């Protein structure tokens, strides 16, 4: 029987507002402290099979950065844009996270860099990590970094990435503190990783600070891997047949005893439905799956009191889901 602690989610029609206009590939979504939904999209740039060479170097530098605003804040109720910025800076937006002071942390997979911007964005980042357009596996480089998670202490984590398989922990000044998940580039795939297999594209981060766990969507392994924020060691994996082969993104909510929302990805041939999952954080059990047949290529997920938000790449979509009272499950 389903848990009585939560209600099923349903898609909200007509959100975002039409005034948002057409979006590029929507790679990232986050929430700010006012409850606005912040999305990170690629304008007229796309990531396709020809975008990078065999050494993961971006091929289209000469085309310059995306000339339209790439970061848009949306009112959670009306879905209307309340603020936008980020033109003439990014090449291939990927991860976006707002910290507890509303600083905006983003990754760009073409630049192989991570940036911290002040609340509301701005011309210049407060912090830049990685060498512009230089992929590498040394500890002062990234290779297509995917996401950021920030502790209240200011320490932060970077999931790195498509062509590395590790999570790096830094202090608030960007000094490296720890490498999680990969002992060294030369390490045999299963060395230094107690769970037996190396991550394959740590693609999204969810920080459960109150549970002292940092979790990642280990995308091509179709699972969640959680690390202790105290020891840096892996503490558990969460995997379900319903995930299928690929799990794209996760988001943690401390409410209702701790929930983890996730979205999986399409497979070829399509074996499992593309959908979202609500899991109990403590034991990883699935409480709910949602919605029916709506998602094609979900890429990121963010949850808030106003609802759960999912962004997709191809079709380029932003979805809002909210608890549907009608499905309220009575306490058994």
Ligand X SMILES: O=C(N[C@@H](O)C(=O)O)c1ccccc1
Under the rule (CB under 6 A), what is the footprint of ligand X? 25, 27, 47-49, 94, 313
In whole angstroms, the minimum distance from the beta carbon of 25 to ligand X comes to 6
Question: Taking a C-beta distance cutoff of 8 angstroms, is the pair 224, 264 a contact?
Answer: no
Question: Taking a C-beta distance cutoff of 8 angstroms, is the pair 220, 266 a contact?
Answer: no
Nearer to ligand X, 276 or 298 (CB): 298
Q: What's the burial of 168, exposed, middle or buried (CB within 10 Å: 0-12/13-18/19+)?
A: buried
Nearer to ligand X, 25 or 73 (CB): 25
In whole angstroms, the minimum distance from the beta carbon of 163 to ligand X comes to 11
Nearer to ligand X, 48 or 123 (CB): 48
- CA geometry: angle 245, 248, 249, nearest 5 deg: 140
Nearer to ligand X, 94 or 240 (CB): 94
Nearer to ligand X, 217 or 303 (CB): 217
Distance between CA atoms of residues 247 and 257, nearest Å: 23
Nearer to ligand X, 109 or 206 (CB): 109
Question: Taking a C-beta distance cutoff of 8 angstroms, is the pair 224, 235 a contact?
Answer: no
Owner of token pair 């700010």:
32
By Cβ distance, which residue is nearest to ligand X? 47
What would the two tokens of residue 175 be? 């000094």
Distance between CA atoms of residues 46 and 40, nearest Å: 13
Nearer to ligand X, 205 or 208 (CB): 205
Q: Where would I find the H helices in 99-230?
A: none
In whole angstroms, the minimum distance from the beta carbon of 186 to ligand X comes to 25
Nearer to ligand X, 259 or 313 (CB): 313
In whole angstroms, the minimum distance from the beta carbon of 319 to ligand X comes to 17
Under DSSP, the state recorded for 332 is -
Strands (E) in 63-165, as ranges, are: 71-74, 81-85, 93-98, 104-108, 113-117, 127-129, 145-150, 156-160
Distance between CA atoms of residues 148 and 104, nearest Å: 10
Supply the DSSP string of 176-199, one letter for each residue. Answer: EEEEES-S-TTS-TTTT-TTSS--
Cα–Cα separations (whole angstroms), residue 105 to 92, 111, 115, 125, 246: 14, 14, 6, 9, 25
Nearer to ligand X, 47 or 309 (CB): 47
In whole angstroms, the minimum distance from the beta carbon of 223 to ligand X comes to 17
In whole angstroms, the minimum distance from the beta carbon of 50 to ligand X comes to 9
Distance between CA atoms of residues 142 and 132, nearest Å: 10
What would the two tokens of residue 184 be? 């060294």
């Amino acid at each position: 029987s389903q848990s009585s602690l939560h209600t099923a989610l349903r898609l909200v029609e007509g959100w975002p507002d039409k005034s948002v206009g057409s979006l590029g590939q929507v790679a990232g979504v986050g929430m700010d402290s006012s409850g606005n939904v912040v999305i990170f999209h690629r304008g007229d740039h796309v990531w396709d099979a020809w975008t990078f060479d065999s050494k993961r170097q971006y091929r289209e530098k000469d085309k310059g950065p995306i000339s339209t605003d790439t970061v848009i804040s949306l009112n959670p109720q009306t879905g209307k844009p309340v603020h936008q910025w980020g033109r003439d800076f990014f090449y291939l937006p990927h991860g976006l996270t707002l910290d507890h002071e509303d600083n905006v942390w983003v990754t760009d997979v073409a630049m192989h860099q991570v940036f911290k911007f002040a609340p509301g964005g701005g011309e210049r980042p407060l912090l830049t990590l990685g060498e512009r357009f230089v992929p590498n596996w040394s500890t002062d480089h990234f290779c297509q970094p995917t996401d950021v998670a920030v502790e209240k202490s200011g320490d932060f984590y970077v999931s790195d990435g498509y062509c590395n398989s590790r999570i790096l922990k830094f202090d608030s000044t960007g000094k490296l503190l720890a490498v999680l998940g990969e002992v060294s580039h030369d390490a045999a795939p299963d060395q230094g990783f107690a769970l037996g297999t190396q991550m394959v594209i740590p693609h999204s981060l969810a920080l459960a600070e109150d549970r002292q766990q940092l979790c990642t969507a280990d995308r091509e392994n179709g699972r969640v891997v959680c690390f202790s924020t105290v020891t840096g060691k892996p503490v558990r994996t969460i995997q379900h047949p319903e995930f299928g082969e690929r799990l794209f993104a996760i988001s943690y909510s401390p409410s209702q005893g701790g929930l983890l929302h996730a979205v999986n990805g399409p497979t070829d041939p399509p074996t499992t439905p593309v959908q979202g999952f609500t899991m109990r954080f403590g034991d990883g059990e699935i409480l709910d799956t949602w919605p029916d047949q709506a998602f094609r290529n979900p890429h990121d997920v963010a949850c808030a009191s106003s609802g759960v938000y999912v962004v997709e790449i191809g079709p380029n979509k932003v979805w809002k889901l909210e608890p549907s009272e009608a499905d309220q499950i009575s306490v058994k």
